[in-house]
C-alpha cells in the first residue's frame, strides 16, 4: 500500500511538472524587444563580477605588433567583454564565441576587435595617402570592402579610423591619419565610419568603427611617441577635437582614448574630455575603450600611485573599457566597497558596451558565417577599388618640362633603387592580415606596363640605409645605358606607424648620395617615393626632374605607380600635409596663425617657406579656373551664400580635379588661421570640358569657430573666400 502511495505521488508530481508553463524567454533574449529594454533587463540579471568582465578586454592569439607583445592566450575567459583576435579563422572564433554563449550563465557574446587600419587581407594605401585623394566616397567604398574581409575573418570591431590631426612628421603615426587639416580629417574620418558601419551595424559584413586616439596625440612633444602634449583649450576645440566631432556625428560606435598626457591630465583619466565634451556636449552614445594597457601606464605618467587608483580615476573619468590592463576586473569590486566608485558609474559603462553588442546583432547572430577563403579575400572588386584609391592618392610633386608621363620616344629606362623589387615596404604599417606575397612589386608592374615598348635596365643601387655604396657602379651603368632614369626610393615599412619617431625626416644619406651620383650622368631623373610621412627633400629635389609621391600604396598600388609613369593614369592627388624643406621647419602647416611681422621673423639660414604646401599636386592636364561668382557679397548670419567656379580642362587628357575652398576672417575677436579649408570636391573633367563647382556656404557651419569651451561663435564682419589663386571678399551682417 505504501509503495502504491509513493508511486501515486511521484506520478502526480511528474504530471504537474509536465503541465507547468516553460520559463518565459528572458526579455534580453527577445529579438523583437527594443534594445534599451533588452540592455536594462540583462543588466538587472548580472552580478558585479559579470559586469566588470564586460568592461575588460583581453587577447586571443599571438599579437604580431611588436609594440604590444602578449602571451599566446589559449585560456581565455568566456565572460570577457571583448577579445582582440589576432587571427582570421572564423571557425576558431566561433568555437570561442560558443563558449561564451553556451557555457556562461547569461550567454553574453564576446565582441571581437582588431586593428584593421587600411585593409584586412587586401591593403589599400595608408590613411595619409587616402587623404590626398580628396575622394571621400571612394574612402567609404574601400572601408566597406575592408569591413567585409574583416567581418568574414570573425572580427566585428576595428580600431579605426585614426583621426588625429598631425603636424609633426617626426611622429611616425602621422602615417595612420588623414594629415594636418581638421576639416579634411573629419570628412575622411566620417566617410570611413560610414564605410565600416554601413546603414545598419547588424547587417552582415558591417563592423563597428573606433575613432582614435582621443585626443591631441599628434601633438606629442618633439614627435616622440607616447609623450606629453601641451595644448590650450582653444586649440583643442579649434583643431584637435574637430575631426572627432565630425566622425562622432557620422555615428561612430566607439572611441579610443589616447596615451598622451594632455597638459597634465592624461587622456585616459580626462573627465572633461571623456565625459563633459564627448558624452555630454556631443551626446556620444557609444563606449570609450582605453588604449593598450593605458590604465596601467597611468602610474608611469605620475598620476596614480598604484593600479587600483589608476582604475578608479579612469572609470570615474568616463573610460568604459579597459584594454589589457586587467585593472577593472581586479579592482572595481573593491573600489565599489570602498565607495570610490559607484554602481551607477559601473552600470552606465556596462550599458554602453552591451548596447553595441545588441546593435551589432551579436546576441541574435553571434557566429560568423563560414565563407571559403577564395571568396572572402582579395576579390576583384575589392582590388579594383584599392587600385583606384592608390591611383587617386599619389601626388605628382614636380614635373619639369613635362618629363612625365614617359614619352613614347623613350626607348630605355633605368629602374634603380631599393624599392623596385620590394613588396613588403609597399604595405605600410598595420598590415592587418595581409601577406607580402599578395602584394605586387613595382618591378613586376613595370614589366607588364612597359612590355615590348621600353627596355628596362634594373640596378639595386643601394639599400634603404647604411653605408654600402657598392651597388652604385651598376646603377651608374644602367643610367648611362638608358634614355631616362627612374629612382625608386623611400622608407621601410617599419619607419612609420606606432613607436617610430625619427629625428630627421630626410631620406637616409645613402639614398641622397645615389641621387647625386646618378645626376652626374646627365640623364633626366624621375624620383618615385614610397614612404609613410612627409619627407624633407631639400637635398634631392634640385636633382630631380620629376617627383611622384606614391606613399605606401598597398596590395595593388604598384600598378597605379606604373600607370602614372606611363600616362595610362593622370595623377589627381593633392597633399593633405605640408612637406617641409628641412626637418628644422617643423611645425609648418597651411593653417598657421598670422604672425605680428609677416615680412619678418624668417629663418636666417634656410628659406622659411616649405617645399610643398598642403593642397599642392600636379596633373598631366591643365585646369583653368574661371572667375568665382558669389550669390551675394553681403549675407546675414542666418542666410547662406552660393559660390561657383567654372573649371576648364584645357589640356590634352581627361582628369579629376579636386577643388579646395578656404575662408579667412582677418578681423575676428581672437586670431584665426591665415586660411581654413571649409569644403572640397573632386570631379572628373573630360578633356576640353568645363565643369562648375559649387560651395553652398552656411555661415553657422562654415564661418563660426569654437571658443575655449567648444561653444560655436559666429561673428559679423568681412570674410574672404579663396579658391585656386582667387580671393574674394564678402560681408556677414547680424
Residue whose CB is less far from ligand BGC, 135 or 197: 197
Among 30, 40, 68, 263, binds ligand BGC (CB under 6 A): 68
Distance between start and end Cα atoms, the chain: 101
CA distance 116 to 124: 11
Alpha carbon separation from 201 to 20, 91, 251, 704 (Å, rounded):
39, 22, 10, 33
**Minimal CA–CA distance to 162: which of 644, 586, 532, 481?**
532
Shortest Cβ 182–ligand BGC spacing (Å): 20
Name residue 720's beta-bridge partners.
Answer: 664, 729
Nearest to 117 by CA among 160, 59, 87: 160
With CB under 6 A as the contact rule, the residue among 42, 101, 115, 219 that binds ligand BGC is: 115
Rounded to 10 degrees, what is the CA torsion of 295, 296, 300, 302?
50
As measured in angstroms, the least distance from the Cβ of 244 to ligand BGC is 15
Spatial CB neighbours of 137, under 8 Å, sequence gap ≥ 6: 191
* Count of Cβ atoms closer than 10 Å to residue 322 Cβ: 32
Output the smallest distance, CB 227 to ligand BGC, in A.
13
CA-nearest of 86, 143, 151, 87 to 118 is 143
Which of these segments, 11-19, 61-69, 182-190, 543-551, binds ligand BGC (CB under 6 A)? 61-69
By the 8 A CB rule, do 149 and 121 touch? yes
Binding part of the chain for ligand BGC, among 64-72, 619-627, 661-669, 714-722 by CB under 6 A, reads 64-72
Asked if 435 and 119 count as a contact pair (C-beta separation under 8 A), the reply is: no
**Could you say which DSSP state residue 704 is in?**
-
Shortest Cβ 128–ligand BGC spacing (Å): 15
Q: Counting contacts by CB under 6 A, is residue 67 touching ligand BGC?
A: yes
Give the residue, chosen from 51, 79, 212, 351, that forms a contact with ligand BGC under the rule CB under 6 A: 212
- Taking contact as CB under 6 A, which single stretch among the options 65-73, 476-484, 555-563, 687-695 is the one that binds ligand BGC? 65-73
Binding segment (CB under 6 A) for ligand BGC, from list 63-71, 377-385, 489-497, 713-721: 63-71
The smaller minimum CB distance to ligand BGC, of residues 68 and 275, is found at 68
Cell numbers describing residue 70:
602578449
- Which one-letter DSSP state was computed for residue 552? -
The continuous run of DSSP H or E covering 345 comes out as helix 343-359
Query: Which of positions 662-721 make contact with ligand BGC (CB under 6 A)?
Result: none
Q: Under rule CB under 6 A, how many of the chain's residues touch ligand BGC? A: 9
Q: Which of 291, 322, 425, 576 is catalytic?
A: 291
- The number of C-alpha atoms within 13 Å of 734 and in the hemisphere containing its C-beta is 0
**Min CB(212)–ligand BGC separation in Å:** 6
Binding string, 143-182, against ligand BGC, x = CB under 6 A? ----------------x-----------------------
Distances (CA, A) of 569 to 226, 388, 449, 456, 654: 40, 10, 12, 20, 9
| 192/575 with CB nearer ligand BGC | 192
Q: Which of residues 288-307 bind ligand BGC (CB under 6 A)?
A: 291-292
- The mark string for 470-509 relative to ligand BGC (x by CB under 6 A, - otherwise) is ----------------------------x-----------
Q: Name the residue nearer to ligand BGC (CB basis): 57 or 578.
A: 57
> Using CB under 6 A, which of the segments 60-68, 614-622, 646-654, 696-704 binds ligand BGC?
60-68
Q: Which is nearer to ligand BGC, 67 or 481 (CB)?
A: 67
Task: State the minimum distance, in angstroms, from the CB of residue 68 to ligand BGC.
Answer: 5
For ligand BGC, give the closer residue by CB, 50 or 115. 115
CB 218, min distance to ligand BGC, A:
12
The piece of 30-38, 62-70, 241-249, 348-356 that touches ligand BGC (CB under 6 A) is 62-70
- Least distance from C-beta 108 to ligand BGC, angstroms? 22
Supply φ then ψ for residue 547, to 5 degrees: -135, 125
**What 3-state DSSP class applies to 95?**
helix
DSSP state of 276: I
Q: For 241-394, where are the E strands, in sequence order?
A: 254-257, 261-262, 265-266, 287-289, 322-323
Q: Of 197 and 572, which CB lies nearer to ligand BGC in the complex structure?
A: 197
| Residue closer to ligand BGC (CB basis): 67 or 733 | 67
Evaluate whether 68 touches 76 at the Cβ level (below 8 Å): no
Closer residue to ligand BGC (CB): 160 or 582:
160
CB of 291 to ligand BGC, least distance (A): 5
How near is the Cβ of 171 to ligand BGC at its closest, in Å? 12
Estimate to the nearest angstrom the gap between the alpha carbon of 165 and the chain centroid: 10
| CA separation for the pair 705, 663 (Å, rounded) | 12
Tell me which residue has its CB nearest to ligand BGC.
Answer: 159
Catalytic: 291? yes
Please identify, using beta-carbon distances, which residue of 111 and 581 lies nearer to ligand BGC: 111
Residue by residue, DSSP assigns 182-230 as HHHHHHHHHHHHHHHH-S-TTSTT--B-EEEEETTGGG-GGG-TT-EE-
CB atoms within 10 A of CB 10: 10
Residue ranges that bind ligand BGC, judged by CB under 6 A: 65, 67-68, 115, 159, 212, 291-292, 498
Catalytically active residues are 291
Amino acid at each position: 500500500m505504501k509503495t502504491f502511495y509513493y508511486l501515486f505521488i511521484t506520478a502526480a508530481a511528474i504530471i504537474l511538472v509536465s503541465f507547468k508553463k516553460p520559463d518565459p524567454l528572458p526579455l534580453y533574449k527577445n529579438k523583437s524587444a527594443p534594445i534599451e529594454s533588452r540592455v536594462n533587463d540583462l543588466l538587472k540579471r548580472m552580478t558585479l563580477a559579470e559586469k566588470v568582465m564586460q568592461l575588460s578586454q583581453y587577447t586571443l592569439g599571438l599579437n604580431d605588433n611588436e609594440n604590444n607583445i602578449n602571451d599566446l592566450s589559449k585560456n581565455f575567459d568566456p565572460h570577457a567583454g571583448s577579445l582582440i583576435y589576432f587571427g582570421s579563422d572564423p571557425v576558431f572564433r566561433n568555437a570561442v564565441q560558443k563558449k561564451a554563449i553556451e557555457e556562461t550563465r547569461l550567454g553574453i557574446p564576446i565582441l571581437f576587435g582588431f586593428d584593421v587600419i587600411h585593409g584586412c587581407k587586401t591593403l589599400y594605401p595608408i590613411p595619409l595617402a587616402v587623404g590626398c585623394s580628396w575622394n571621400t566616397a571612394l574612402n567609404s567604398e574601400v572601408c566597406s570592402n575592408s569591413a567585409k574581409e574583416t567581418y568574414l575573418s570573425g572580427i566585428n570591431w576595428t580600431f579605426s579610423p585614426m583621426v588625429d590631426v598631425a603636424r609633426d612628421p617626426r611622429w611616425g603615426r602621422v602615417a595612420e591619419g588623414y594629415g594636418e587639416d581638421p576639416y579634411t580629417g573629419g570628412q575622411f574620418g566620417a566617410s570611413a565610419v560610414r564605410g565600416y558601419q554601413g546603414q545598419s551595424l547588424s547587417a552582415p559584413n558591417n563592423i563597428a568603427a573606433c575613432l582614435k586616439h582621443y585626443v591631441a596625440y599628434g601633438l606629442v612633444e618633439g614627435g616622440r611617441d607616447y609623450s606629453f602634449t601641451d595644448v590650450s583649450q582653444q586649440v583643442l576645440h579649434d583643431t584637435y577635437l574637430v575631426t572627432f566631432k565630425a566622425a562622432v556625428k557620422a555615428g561612430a560606435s566607439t572611441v579610443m582614448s589616447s596615451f598622451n598626457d594632455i597638459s597634465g591630465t592624461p587622456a585616459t583619466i580626462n573627465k572633461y574630455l571623456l565625459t563633459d565634451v564627448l558624452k555630454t556636449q556631443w551626446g556620444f552614445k557609444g563606449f570609450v575603450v582605453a588604449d593598450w594597457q593605458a590604465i596601467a601606464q597611468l602610474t608611469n605618467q605620475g598620476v596614480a600611485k598604484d593600479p587600483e587608483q589608476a582604475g578608479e580615476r579612469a572609470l570615474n573619468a568616463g573610460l568604459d573599457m579597459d584594454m589589457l590592463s586587467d585593472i577593472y576586473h581586479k579592482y572595481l569590486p573593491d573600489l565599489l566597497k570602498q565607495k570610490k566608485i559607484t554602481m551607477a558609474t559601473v552600470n552606465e559603462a556596462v550599458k554602453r558596451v552591451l548596447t553595441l553588442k545588441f546593435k551589432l546583432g551579436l546576441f541574435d547572430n553571434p557566429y560568423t558565417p563560414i565563407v571559403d577563403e577564395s571568396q572572402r579575400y582579395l576579390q576583384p572588386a575589392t582590388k579594383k577599388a584599392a587600385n583606384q584609391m592608390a591611383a587617386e592618392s599619389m601626388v605628382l610633386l614636380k614635373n619639369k618640362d613635362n618629363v612625365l608621363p614617359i614619352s613614347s620616344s623613350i626607348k630605355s629606362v633605368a629602374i634603380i633603387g631599393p624599392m623596385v623589387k620590394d613588396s613588403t615596404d609597399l604595405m605600410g604599417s598595420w598590415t592587418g592580415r595581409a601577406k607580402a606575397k599578395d602584394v605586387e612589386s613595382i618591378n613586376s608592374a613595370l614589366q607588364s606596363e612597359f612590355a615590348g615598348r621600353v627596355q628596362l635596365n634594373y640596378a639595386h643601387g643601394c639599400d634603404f640605409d647604411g653605408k654600402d655604396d657598392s651597388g652604385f657602379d651598376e646603377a651608374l651603368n644602367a643610367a648611362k645605358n638608358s634614355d631616362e632614369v627612374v629612382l625608386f626610393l623611400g622608407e621601410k615599412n617599419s619607419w612609420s606607424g606606432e613607436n617610430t619617431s625619427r629625428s630627421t625626416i630626410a631620406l637616409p644619406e645613402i639614398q641622397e648620395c645615389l641621387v647625386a651620383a646618378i645626376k652626374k650622368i646627365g640623364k633626366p631623373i624621375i624620383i618615385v617615393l614610397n614612404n609613410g610621412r612627409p619627407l624633407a627633400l631639400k637635398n634631392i629635389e634640385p636633382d630631380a626632374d620629376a617627383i611622384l609621391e606614391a606613399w605606401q600604396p598597398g596590395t595593388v598600388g604598384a600598378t597605379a605607380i606604373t600607370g602614372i609613369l606611363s600616362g595610362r593614369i593622370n595623377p589627381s592627388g593633392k597633399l593633405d600635409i605640408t612637406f617641409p624643406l628641412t626637418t628644422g621647419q617643423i611645425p609648418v602647416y597651411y593653417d598657421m596663425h598670422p604672425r605680428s611681422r609677416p615680412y619678418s621673423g624668417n629663418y636666417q639660414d634656410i628659406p622659411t617657406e616649405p617645399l610643398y604646401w598642403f593642397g599642392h599636386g600636379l596633373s598631366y592636364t591643365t585646369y583653368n579656373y574661371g572667375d568665382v561668382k558669389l550669390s551675394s557679397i553681403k549675407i546675414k548670419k542666418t542666410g547662406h551664400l552660393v559660390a561657383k567656379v567654372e573649371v576648364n580642362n584645357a589640356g590634352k587628357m581627361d582628369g579629376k580635379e579636386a577643388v579646395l575652398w578656404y575662408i579667412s576672417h582677418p578681423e575676428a575677436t581672437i586670431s584665426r588661421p591665415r586660411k581654413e579649408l571649409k569644403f572640397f570636391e573632386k570631379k572628373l573633367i573630360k578633356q576640353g570640358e568645363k565643369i562648375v563647382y559649387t560651395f553652398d556656404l552656411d555661415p553657422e557651419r562654415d564661418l563660426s569657430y569654437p571658443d575655449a569651451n567648444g561653444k560655436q561663435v559666429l561673428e559679423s564682419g568681412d570674410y574672404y573666400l579663396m579658391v585656386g589663386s582667387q580671393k574674394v571678399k564678402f560681408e556677414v551682417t547680424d
